[in-house]
Amino acid sequence: MAFVTDGVSNSKNAKNASYFVCKQISENYEKLISSKSSWIVSFLDKVNTKLAKEYEDALTTLAGVVITKDKINIINIGDSKVYTLKKSKLNKVSV
Protein backbone atom coordinates (compact mmCIF):
# COMPACT_ATOMS: atom_id res chain seq x y z
CA MET A 1 0.00 0.00 0.00
CA ALA A 2 1.27 3.45 -0.90
CA PHE A 3 -0.44 6.84 -0.85
CA VAL A 4 0.46 10.44 -1.54
CA THR A 5 -1.63 13.36 -0.32
CA ASP A 6 -1.17 16.92 -1.48
CA GLY A 7 -3.11 19.66 0.29
CA VAL A 8 -4.90 22.02 -2.07
CA SER A 9 -2.93 25.28 -1.91
CA ASN A 10 -5.89 27.65 -1.73
CA SER A 11 -7.38 25.67 1.16
CA LYS A 12 -6.95 27.25 4.60
CA ASN A 13 -6.27 23.86 6.22
CA ALA A 14 -4.46 22.06 3.39
CA LYS A 15 -1.62 20.78 5.61
CA ASN A 16 -4.09 19.54 8.24
CA ALA A 17 -6.17 17.84 5.54
CA SER A 18 -3.17 15.93 4.16
CA TYR A 19 -2.04 14.88 7.62
CA PHE A 20 -5.55 13.85 8.68
CA VAL A 21 -6.08 11.64 5.62
CA CYS A 22 -2.63 10.01 5.95
CA LYS A 23 -3.27 9.31 9.62
CA GLN A 24 -6.66 7.73 8.91
CA ILE A 25 -5.11 5.52 6.22
CA SER A 26 -2.18 4.44 8.40
CA GLU A 27 -4.48 3.64 11.33
CA ASN A 28 -6.55 1.37 9.07
CA TYR A 29 -3.68 -0.29 7.21
CA GLU A 30 -4.57 -3.89 8.07
CA LYS A 31 -8.22 -3.47 7.11
CA LEU A 32 -7.32 -1.66 3.86
CA ILE A 33 -4.99 -4.38 2.59
CA SER A 34 -7.50 -7.12 3.36
CA SER A 35 -10.67 -5.49 2.04
CA LYS A 36 -12.64 -5.41 -1.17
CA SER A 37 -12.73 -2.33 -3.39
CA SER A 38 -16.22 -1.38 -2.21
CA TRP A 39 -15.05 -1.21 1.42
CA ILE A 40 -12.09 0.97 0.44
CA VAL A 41 -14.39 3.41 -1.37
CA SER A 42 -16.74 3.50 1.62
CA PHE A 43 -13.80 4.02 3.99
CA LEU A 44 -12.48 6.97 1.97
CA ASP A 45 -15.95 8.50 1.87
CA LYS A 46 -16.13 8.27 5.68
CA VAL A 47 -12.66 9.83 5.99
CA ASN A 48 -13.84 12.72 3.82
CA THR A 49 -16.92 13.21 6.02
CA LYS A 50 -14.76 13.18 9.19
CA LEU A 51 -12.34 15.65 7.62
CA ALA A 52 -15.14 18.08 6.79
CA LYS A 53 -16.40 17.91 10.40
CA GLU A 54 -12.91 18.26 11.92
CA TYR A 55 -11.56 21.18 9.86
CA GLU A 56 -13.12 24.06 8.00
CA ASP A 57 -11.83 24.56 4.44
CA ALA A 58 -9.58 21.48 4.49
CA LEU A 59 -8.91 20.09 1.02
CA THR A 60 -6.39 17.56 -0.20
CA THR A 61 -5.81 15.36 -3.20
CA LEU A 62 -4.98 11.67 -2.85
CA ALA A 63 -3.30 9.14 -5.09
CA GLY A 64 -2.36 5.62 -4.17
CA VAL A 65 -2.47 1.88 -4.55
CA VAL A 66 -3.74 -0.86 -2.27
CA ILE A 67 -2.33 -4.24 -3.19
CA THR A 68 -4.17 -7.31 -1.89
CA LYS A 69 -3.55 -10.95 -2.67
CA ASP A 70 -6.31 -10.81 -5.29
CA LYS A 71 -5.96 -7.43 -6.98
CA ILE A 72 -4.41 -4.00 -7.17
CA ASN A 73 -6.73 -1.07 -6.35
CA ILE A 74 -5.72 2.25 -7.93
CA ILE A 75 -7.12 5.26 -6.09
CA ASN A 76 -7.07 8.92 -7.00
CA ILE A 77 -9.08 11.82 -5.68
CA GLY A 78 -8.56 15.21 -7.23
CA ASP A 79 -5.91 15.92 -9.82
CA SER A 80 -3.17 13.69 -8.37
CA LYS A 81 -2.68 10.60 -10.53
CA VAL A 82 -1.04 7.17 -10.31
CA TYR A 83 1.48 6.07 -12.93
CA THR A 84 3.50 2.96 -13.70
CA LEU A 85 7.07 3.12 -14.92
CA LYS A 86 8.02 0.57 -17.55
CA LYS A 87 11.13 0.71 -19.72
CA SER A 88 11.77 4.35 -18.77
CA LYS A 89 8.24 5.35 -19.82
CA LEU A 90 5.50 6.66 -17.50
CA ASN A 91 2.01 5.33 -18.12
CA LYS A 92 -0.99 6.89 -16.37
CA VAL A 93 -3.23 4.26 -14.77
CA SER A 94 -5.60 6.67 -12.97
CA VAL A 95 -8.69 7.97 -14.68
pLDDT in tens, 34-60: 888 899 999 999 999 999 999 999 999
Q: What is the DSSP string of 11-23?
A: STTHHHHHHHHHH
Which spans in 1-95 are helix H?
14-27, 29-33, 37-54
Tell me the whole-structure pTM to 2 decimals.
0.84
Assign 68 a pLDDT band (cuts: 50, 70, 90). confident
The more confident residue out of 76 and 69 is 76
Across the range 55-74, mean pLDDT stands at 91
By the 8 A CB rule, do 58 and 17 touch? yes
- pLDDT higher than threshold 90 for residue 18: yes
